[in-house]
């Protein structure tokens, strides 16, 4: 059964959090798809992942290039790299049946955006109804993650 994690951003931005989560994904030797809510956001994340840290390299490709990369960025439903994990960011969504073959799905949402919070609540209900294990993580004052539910 797919494990679904909800990361509630309160202090950091997606650009601050996503690279670290992707680094941990690659340490597990997993492949990932990052699904963003728009093509413009996908392009911005692509540019950011090339420059987020001088001493690190995060192999990735945006839709239309290098489907064999371990991290695939898209605004669609394509998953050509056979991922173990799907990240949903900036309004991207997935049907619970579409994530059933994955090890994990991670929804990262901005707690300062009421629409994003509402989307996360709706997805929580959907994945719980589908029988997925769901956990909710919130940023601590120190910037780490604390399991809340």
Q: What ranges do the domains of the chain cover?
A: 3-147
Q: Is the pLDDT of residue 143 over 90?
A: no
Buried/exposed 32-60: b ≥16 CB within 10 Å, e otherwise: bbbbbbeeebbebbbeebeebeeeeebeb
| Alpha helix segments (H runs only) across the chain | 14-27, 39-51, 114-129
Q: Is the pLDDT of residue 5 over 80?
A: yes
Question: Cα–Cα distance between 122 and 40 in angstroms, integer?
Answer: 24
Structure-token pair, residue 36: 């963003």
Q: According to the model, what pLDDT value does residue 123 have?
A: 97
pLDDT tens digits for range 24-36: 999 999 999 999 9
Q: How confident is the model at residue 127 (pLDDT cuts 50, 70, 90)?
A: very high
Q: How confident is the model at residue 63 (pLDDT cuts 50, 70, 90)?
A: low
Cα 115-83-109 angle, rounded to 5 deg: 15
State in words which class domain 3-147 has.
alpha beta
Mean pLDDT calculated for residue range 94-105? 96
Q: According to the model, what pLDDT value does residue 66 have?
A: 65
């Amino acid at each position: 059964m797919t494990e679904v994690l909800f990361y509630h951003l309160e202090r950091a931005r997606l650009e601050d959090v996503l690279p670290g989560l992707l680094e941990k994904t690659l340490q597990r030797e997993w492949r990932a798809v990052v699904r963003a809510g728009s093509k413009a956001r996908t392009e911005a994340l692509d540019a950011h992942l090339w420059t987020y840290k001088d001493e690190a390299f995060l192999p990735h490709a945006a839709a239309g290039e290098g489907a064999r990369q371990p991290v695939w960025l898209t605004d669609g439903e394509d998953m050509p790299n056979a991922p173990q994990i799907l990240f949903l960011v900036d309004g991207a969504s997935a049907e619970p049946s579409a994530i059933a073959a994955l090890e994990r799905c991670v929804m990262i949402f901005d707690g300062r955006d009421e629409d994003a919070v509402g989307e996360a609540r709706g997805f929580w209900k959907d994945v719980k109804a589908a029988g997925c294990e769901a956990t909710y993580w919130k940023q601590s004052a120190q910037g780490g993650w604390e399991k809340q539910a």
